[in-house]
Structure 1
Amino acid sequence: MPEVIYRVVEHDGGWAYKLGDVFSETFRTHKQAADAAHRAAREQETPGDTAVIEYQDREGNWRTETARGSDRPDAEVEDKS
């Protein structure tokens, strides 16, 4: 089952893709939004470099982790339009 799902939706007088509650920019056509969503999904699955990252968690604590460049999620596009 995919870990990341981009959904193509009507938005703000045009079309966008959505990840969770976050919208992409608005595109004039459905095809443009769908193409952009597929591009984002491919990039999400593309391996990168292993790096040490720092981030602040929801409780406000700083965390340090090693993000493996090969540890990429399974991504897909859902388009019910």
Structure 2
Amino acid sequence: MTKVAYEIVPHDGGWAYKLGDVFSESFASHDEALEAARIVMQEQQVGDEPVKISYQDEKGKWHYEYSDGGDRPEVEIVDRYQSGERPA
């Protein structure tokens, strides 16, 4: 199972959540960024309809797969800061 970790971080004079090197929009407070990350985390848990998937790999070969829509990642929020705290 895939694991996804959203991290709460200071960003652009406010706060954001990020996944890897990608930041969300900036929020005015730590609590707002944390709540936004919680909403995204909940949305990650919603299953989808079964679907056929096709994609081309780096060598140009086409692959065809079936997704039952229930394979959802394990999601967590990493928060090293307290509400109102700024990094040193």
TM-score (norm 2): 0.78
What is residue 30 of structure 1 aligned with on the other side? 30
What is residue 80 of structure 2 aligned with on the other side? 80
Give the counterpart letter for 2:38 in structure 1.
H
Q: How does 1:38-77 map onto structure 2 within 5 Å?
A: 38-57=38-57, 59=58, 61=60, 62-77=62-77
**Contact 1:9–1:15 (Cα < 8 Å) also in 2:** yes
What is residue 6 of structure 1 aligned with on the other side? 6
TM-score (norm 1): 0.84
CA deviations over 1:1-42 (Å, ceiling 9, x no partner): 970000000001110000111111111111110001011111
Structure 1 unaligned regions, length at least 5: none
Identical columns (%): 49
Root-mean-square deviation (CA, aligned residues, Å) is: 2.0
What SS is found at the alignment partner of 1:9? Answer: strand
Structure 2 unaligned regions, length at least 5: 82-88
Q: Give the structure with higher Rg (CA).
A: 2
Query: Aligned pair count?
Result: 80
Q: Which moved more, 1:41-50 or 1:30-39?
A: 41-50
What is residue 20 of structure 1 aligned with on the other side? 20
Q: How far apart in 2 are the matches of 1:11 and 1:55?
A: 35
